Amino acid sequence: MGSTDKETGASGPVPLHEPRPTPLPSPSPVGPADPAPEVGYRGPAACSAAGITYRQLDYWARTGLVEPSIRPAYGSGSHRLYSFRDVVVLKIVKRLLDAGVSLQNIRAAVSHLSARGLADLTQMTLMSDGATVYECSSPDDVVALLQGGQGVFGIAVGVVWRDVEEALEELHAERVDSGETVPGEHPDDELARRRNRVG
């Protein structure tokens, strides 16, 4: 979301760690929903889909960077359970870390992502110069950032969303209400089903 200068009327991207001149919009009532709100994902599945190690996942949960929104770990023997949205945020954090963004700015980005509606997320592009993270919600915001010589890389949240969705389809999930395991659809299984239909 870009800010608007009241004197000039100019708009552009705003660093996420700076106070915003206007409050964040409330979550949009329309748009994509969580693809699987009735299931969650244990640590190994979340790590696989986000492309991170279990050590990273554990550290981020213990330090409050990205905590599982469905079920935290309660002592030994319990398992954290992450929502689809949590896994999307994990993957974004991994990309920001790989780009050298500071932990302070990553925390600001995570907080910002958590405050936005699902429809807003899929339309959002996060840009960073390696030091500061910006939200760009329009092509004009991206152009303004690039013209300032600041933008180095961008993360299209909608693309990350689709990547995570595809990865999780092949991994085991857990029903939130019963704890029952929901097996993923392995590509080889789908290929076998297609062959059986043809045969």
Average pLDDT, the chain: 78
Q: How confident is the model at residue 5 (pLDDT cuts 50, 70, 90)?
A: very low
- Regarding predicted confidence, which is higher, 133 or 74? 133
CA angle 194, 175, 91 (to 5 degrees): 80
| Residue given tokens 């993923």 in the structure block | 184
Per the confidence metrics, is the pTM higher than 0.85? no
81 Cβ contact list (under 8 Å, min separation 6) = 40, 41, 42, 68, 70, 71, 174, 176
pLDDT above 50 (res 27): no
